[in-house]
Structure 1
Amino acid sequence: MKNLLLLLVVLASLLVSCTSESIDNAKILDDGLIENKSKKTAKLLQTLSPENPANEYDIAGKIHNDILDVYLSGNYTFNTIARISQKVDSISVLNNDLLNMATSLPCNFQEIQETVDDPQIKLEQAIANSSMTNAAKISLSNFMDSILLWETDEYAIIHQSIISFEASVISNAQFSNEDKRIILTTSSIVRYSLYYAKERKDKDWETSVGNRVGAVQGAVANSSTAINKSIVTGLIIQNLQTE
């Protein structure tokens, strides 16, 4: 009888030991999975950037953010289109990447003011009066409308949506080189500008329709003009919103 009780005690001890070990192993496994998931998430956040090497006009967006960063870091209090434009120009001449581009056209203050007052009308006019084919005009117009729906999403989702759009433009055999230049310059600036607002969480910069319209208006001429008009229009709208 004593031997039987001793045997039962030993078996019970082994059962408890195995169960505890199983729980411990399961906990270690769960902790390991959580840790790996956290590392992957952290790595994703570290590698997230606004770039799209497939877009040959990607540099336009990068320069846009570089110039914007210098301007906002200066905490300037200019509140007129003329003064903002003058300061942006003085920053631009120090940007080596921009110097390699075609010269930006002089800033049209009246057009910028009209864009601030009614961005949607000016967007429609800019697209309609451009040299793009009708198919490209429709594509760019749809893209600009889509941004209004995408901009509330996380940037990773926005980035992928814009890259998918750019891929469709790049592969479209019906679009002329001029069509692609205008559309891809605009989309690059939009992609980088949204990154600046969302990922940097910079309270001094919020993208607006006017900012994007400026990019379209300028892109019709060249990339440097697109960068300039987008920044100046965005800054004057930002100033009006914070007054």
Structure 2
Amino acid sequence: MIKNTLGLAVLALCMFSCSPDTTEISNETQTKGISKLLKTEINPENPANPYDSTGKVYYQLLLEMNYGSAWSNIHDVVSAVESHALLNDEFKILAGKSYFAISQGQEEFIAGVDSNVVLGNPQLSVVAREHLRFLFSKFSAPDYTQQEFDLFCNSLKGFEHNVLLDVKLNSYDKKVVLTTATIARYAAARDKGKGKDKDWRLSTNNIVAAAVGAMESEAKAVTMAMAEGIYNAGGI
């Protein structure tokens, strides 16, 4: 028990030593980021979520990413994801000047995702952790794969609405939960849309990785969710 507690504490220090990034993206960038998504006839936009643009950047990067068969370990996957992201103008705006590369501790987390790093983390209030627990459960539910996207998307929007109205959450709690939720919504669109990439797979671990990244910054939520999705699909 003591060993596990110390392990989580060390990992938390590796992950969350940086100040939260609250960079916003212009309306023009948001519009550009959604253009390819709308061609799939699936529209996961939720303007009510103030972090919706983060999900759009995540989705755009997924569309543009070229997956490499030569990646032999988690470090190669992370390096490829971050190199790709940092060439994208929308991501660079999101990251601002304070993006820190995915650390070794974060790589280890992606390789062996443990939701307790989020659900047991005192940086978040108990109420925020319960919201995230509920969000994770939506993607692990047995009927997730059978649900039509419109219905599933509407249920996520309802979840986000409740988070926005929850007076028990502070601004940091809401940032983490809503950033995770918008990435989850766009990930579901990719997963349920036509022509989804066989080299990327959605799982609850994607959403957990997004939450861990969101505790540091919106940009880190994007790269950690992407890296986990590719790593998971590759079976590395």
TM-score for both structures, normalised by structure 2: 0.75
CA drift of 1:80 comes to 1.7
> Corresponding residue for 1:92?
85
Counterpart among 122, 130, 142 of residue 138 in structure 1: 130
Change (3 A) 1:46 1:221: closer
Indicate yes or no: 2:164 matched with 1:170. yes
> Structure 2 counterpart of 1:213, which letter?
V
Q: What amino acid sits opposite 1:238 in the alignment?
A: A
1:234 aligns with 2:226: no
Deviations 1:216-235 (A, max 9, x none): 11000110000011111111
Alpha carbons of structure 1 residues 156 and 195: separation in structure 2 relative to 1, 3 Å: same
Matches within 5 A, 1:172-187: 172-187=166-181
**Structure 1 counterpart SS, 2:94:** coil
Counterpart residue number, 2:63:
69
Aligned counterpart, 1:126: 118
Which whole-Å CA distance do the structure 2 matches of 1:54 and 1:230 have between them?
A: 22
Q: Give matches, 1:180-195, under 5 Å.
A: 180-195=174-189
Does the alignment pair 1:215 with 2:210?
yes
Calculate the aligned-residue CA RMSD, in Å.
2.2
What CA distance in whole angstroms lies between the structure 1 residues aligned with 2:119 and 2:215? 9
Unaligned stretches of 5+ in structure 2?
Answer: 1-38
Aligned-residue offset at 1:187: 0.5
Q: Distance in 2 between matches of 1:191 and 1:133?
A: 23
Q: CA deviation at 1:90?
A: 1.6
Alignment length, in residue pairs?
A: 193
Distance 2:72 2:203 in 1: 17
Bigger relative contact order, structure 1 or 2, given CA contacts below 8 A and separation 6+?
A: 2
Residue aligned with 2:44, SS: coil
Structure 1's unaligned 5+ residue stretches are 1-44
Higher alpha-carbon Rg:
1
Q: Distance in 2 between matches of 1:157 and 1:201?
A: 20
Structure 1 position 135, deviation (Å): 1.2
Normalised by the length of structure 1, the TM-score is 0.73
Q: Is 1:198 equivalent to 2:192 in the alignment? A: yes
State the one-letter code of the partner of 2:159.
Answer: F
The verdict on how the C-alpha distance between 1:155 and 1:220 changes in structure 2, with shifts beyond 3 A counting, is: same
